[in-house]
Structure 1
């Protein structure tokens, strides 16, 4: 992944609710807004569908951090998209994953992560945060561009569709069922949360 300083910069104008929120905080440049969001602690929010939850709780995940900056980019007309990626979670990425893989007989656990894309630049605003991962995620089994504030339900449905139509067709997952992966995902989320 790239540093957020590689994104195009622009002054923030009164273009929408996120723009106004940053201006009210005294942040008047896009890169400064990226820095603010990047420096917020990593943490699960109480409502992923509330675009303002990041500001209310002063923390965020890849979902909420990228929803805010992606929405700001849209408000400012910057060429940027939010990308949902599904990666292969293993013990090398998250400590404790091996037990889940063994329990569900999987070579890896397909998990969602998201980031922002502008041309060839890809930025993860949770990279370097205590996000439960031992290293950045650079390789994905599947990616799809989405609107910045995609709902939690729509994100989950995208995940299920990608599993059924793409990921479970991979040779190394022959014989693995959708139910098996979805159950393993719940266990994987508990492992991730325990590492924050």
Structure 2
């Protein structure tokens, strides 16, 4: 394992009132910190409100928006890999998450993305599949495995821990192993040859 840890940004992909997303994101962050070889940064999109309307090309954003963009740009650029925690809303991901992806381009390029989904009987898997298509378009690569919590309210205890930790912890380890491999490989590749699109 390389000496330099992978910088993993875990994105809390919902801002809806009463959201469950932070519970899942906090659980995964604990798994990542315990894994080894990874530095974790939690990015809650509630703390980074981006407007739905983007400025025209070459036109600067208003100062308040520019401050949010600058702060989020730094966090995303610093990351070697991402985990996106997403609910499923109407067979897809949340509007705020799609909007955030659309605001940026270079920060996603040639980096791996892990997907953790939750929601109802489908466990958020339709949202995860939509995100695979979206991230491919911004030149990020999603890893094979996904973690999915079906009927999430019954899957977690009140203390934020999964009701069946053995299966979820094994799934988290597998996803983190893949992200670590891809994160190291792509970081080394980006260092040797700048990625172009």
Higher share in strand: 2
User: Which of the five TM-score ranges fits, normalised by the shorter chain?
Assistant: under 0.3
Q: Could you tell me the TM-score, scaled by structure 1's length?
A: 0.28
Q: Could you tell me the TM-score, scaled by structure 2's length?
A: 0.28
